[in-house]
A and B are shown apart, each in its own frame.
Chain A
């Protein structure tokens, strides 16, 4: 029964996300509204971690499976993709590498800079 209870809370938050999607005229899907609502509910204590944890872990674990139907949809979109598939695949590969490298490097360098700053501040404070 615990899983059912947890699952119903998760579905309820998804439902609220769906309502926001219908009310707010932006191309933001119900799932992203739901993610933000869930985070807010956890932070404010409206929902406790123990009320969703196990069902959530299960759903996250099986998430890759949920993409199979959409991925197999390539079968249907292939005719329109065929004439441009070479540039498309090259763009896909190159941008994926670029985005991982840029995001990772910028984040890493900003974190290291911040750490350095804190260390220096700490040292200065020690001397005084």
Chain B
């Protein structure tokens, strides 16, 4: 039975999709922010792999076809952005200032906390790109001498955390302007957060998409400077 699962071209994709459906169902039924479909799906997949005694690499062999769509999907984030272009032009200064401040806050807070927990250089640079999209983050981490697998895990956890809590944190800090909300979510929690921003509204979604690209690029520059601090 096990070899069927390992050699299958579809097992990984089927498990992932079924787990996501389960996540959607739970979210619909209980309407709690903690029941995030991506979080539930990921936990279900991990549980399934452990129970069925299937190694992650075998799962990934067939699940990777889902991830294949990630690049085209990110390209598509240009569309909501294009539809809100007037808004972008109108608030250009505030948008640039907000994202730059957010990226700086991210790098600075990782630096200070890494100092506080006395992390070494490799551990520190592993965390530096934690708020940006996985594809850029891996590159930054590798370039600076970080541990790539941990960077990926932290980026994903950050994304899910942002997705689950962004609405609440915005309320807590009285961030009500849709442009500000979208930028905050995208800068803090990249594409995974953006899926939440899309739910909040068109403006939020577009601004969050914009923040993925801009914050990603600014972090590439900023992280190379901050990397020398520890």
Q: A34-B74, A35-B213 are in contact. Are A96 and B165 (CB under 8 A)?
A: yes
The B interface, classified by DSSP as helix, strand, loop or mixed, is helix
Residue of B16, B50, B166, B184 near A65 (CB, 8 A) is B16
Q: Are A34 and B173 in contact (CB under 8 A)?
A: no
Interface positions, chain B 91-119, Cβ under 8 Å from A, are 91, 93-95, 97-99, 101-102, 105-106, 109-110, 113-114, 117, 119
Max count, chain B CB within 10 A of own CB: residue among A10, A32, A36, A103: A103
Q: Are A65 and B20 in contact (CB under 8 A)?
A: yes
B175-201 near A? 1/0 per residue, CB < 8 Å: 111011101110111011011001000
A7-48 near B? 1/0 per residue, CB < 8 Å: 100110110011000000011111110111111001100000
Q: Are B106 and A52 in contact (CB under 8 A)?
A: no
Q: A29-B139, A49-B79, A99-B188 are in contact. Are A80 and B147 (CB under 8 A)?
A: yes
Closest A residue to B39 using CB positions: A71
Which residues of B have CB within 8 Å of A34? 71-72, 74-75, 78
Q: A27-B143, A74-B153 are in contact. Are A104 and B20 (CB under 8 A)?
A: no
Q: How large is the interface on A (under 10, 10 to 19, 20 to 34, 35 or more residues)?
A: 35 or more
Q: A32-B135, A60-B80, A73-B153 are in contact. Are A104 and B183 (CB under 8 A)?
A: yes
Q: Are A114 and B180 in contact (CB under 8 A)?
A: no
Shortest distance between the CB of A50 and any CB in chain B (Å): 11
Q: Counting CB contacts under 8 A, is A97 at the interface?
A: yes
Q: Counting CB contacts under 8 A, is A59 at the interface?
A: yes
Residues of A within 8 A of B (CB): 7, 10-11, 13-14, 17-18, 26-32, 34-39, 42-43, 49, 52-53, 55-57, 59-60, 62-77, 80-81, 84, 87-108, 110-112, 114
Known: A39-B78, A62-B69, A67-B159. 5 other contacts (CB 8 A): A30-B71, A35-B81, A65-B38, A74-B42, A108-B175
Residues of B within 8 A of A (CB): 12, 16-17, 19-20, 37-38, 41-42, 45-46, 49-50, 56-57, 59-60, 63-64, 66-67, 69-83, 85, 91, 93-95, 97-99, 101-102, 105-106, 109-110, 113-114, 117, 119, 123, 127, 130-131, 133-136, 139-140, 142-143, 147, 149-150, 152-154, 156-162, 165-166, 169-170, 172-173, 175-177, 179-181, 183-185, 187-189, 191-192, 194-195, 198, 209, 211-213, 216-217, 220
